[in-house]
Amino acid sequence: MKQGAKESGKGDTLKVIFQALLIALVVRTFLFQPFNIPSGSMIPTLLIGDYLFVSKYTYGYSDHSIPFSPHLFSGRIFASPPKRGDVAVFKLPRDGQTDYIKRVIGLPGDKIQMQDGRLYINGVIVPREPIAKVHTEDFYERETEVPTYRETLPGGISHTIIEIQGDTGYNDNTSVFEVPEGHYFMMGDNRDNSTDSRVPPDQGGVGFVPFENLVGRAELIFFSVGKGEPAWAVWEWPWTVRWDRMFKTVK
């Protein structure tokens, strides 16, 4: 093979690699971003080891839509506010870098409070009904069955929550939180094991989440492995993959 042909072949390969990386960057920035679940704060909706797609276009775009969150502009473009009940990925307000995933509970202007384990929105108790208990880990990583409920938010969105400590958990009684304009109140479905908007930033919590910190809405679980199992261990997939969670929509 002539030297010129070799150089041309290398150039074509580099061009293909560059184009593939560019396409991947565009898809990740403007359409869908993969995200994996590292904690149990959204059990039973999301489990440790779930891998899901987050739609970037749902809420429009901010600095946090771009990898590494460079400060290119303020606010959001093509903005569309989240709906109550959405499961959303956002950047932790106190550092602007760490990804969190929680459920949107409070909208701007809402008053949110927990009393004896029950959620109140604008002074009205949010209805819930007991359903079959979920088998999960307690705070000591012991397998156990925990109280489980179907909770229905204003607007009719229903989802499942668990109460590992019943209605006497650490954050089951709070003061009234009034959500500021342009911010949202986020909570985990694992109510007694979620550091969320009920915990202020100066205590290591989330606090209110600015609209511009939202990254996107969780849409679809595309892969799932058992807790602590490496996703790259292909030879173990027949036993470690949770096949029943594949291609499950996030609700």
User: Which residues are marked as active site?
Assistant: 41, 102
As a whole number of angstroms, the distance between CA 18 and CA 24 comes to 10
* Residue-wise DSSP of 142-180: -EEEEEEEEEE-TTS-EEEEE-TTTT-STTSS---EEPP
List C-alpha distances in Å: 221 to 36, 37, 245, 247: 9, 10, 7, 5
**Helices within the chain (DSSP H only):** 3-30, 237-240
Q: Which of 147, 156, 109 minimizes the C-alpha distance to 129?
A: 147
